[in-house]
Amino acid sequence: MDSAYDLFQSGTELLERRDFHAATVPLARARALEPDKSSVREALGRAYFGAQRYAEAAGEFEAVISHHPTDDYALFCLGRSLQQLGRHAEARAPLTLAATLRPERADYRLYRERAERRADAA
């Protein structure tokens, strides 16, 4: 049986090659072994996002935020996942917090502004 570390390494290598669907398999197995490991949950969220499995991605990023509420990247990714699901009003809060935590990140501000415009238009 592979260790959580080996599964994580395998999954992140697949992520680096942009093989998102394949990456979900070892990363989900690593999560089953280490459900409180934020690095595993973030990587799995990234794989789900890349595989266009946005609801599952949002769940992984929410799990990271539950342990690390000021993780700007997890907040940003949660917001992006919600946007992809068409939930722009909900995406505003995590995107705003991410942009506040890292004001130098233009991409955070850009997606926050998009969420605000689309939520207001709805």
d(CA 78, CA 65): 9
For the whole model, what pTM was predicted?
A: 0.95
Section 57-66 average pLDDT: 98
Query: What confidence tens digit (pLDDT) does each residue in 70-112 have?
Result: 999 999 999 999 999 999 999 999 999 999 999 999 999 999 9
Tokens of 19: 């093989």
- % of residues, the chain, pLDDT over 90: 96
Residue 20 makes CB contacts below 8 A (sequence gap 6+) with 14, 46, 47, 48, 49, 50, 51
Indicate the domain borders of the chain.
1-52, 69-122
Q: Is the pLDDT of residue 32 over 80?
A: yes
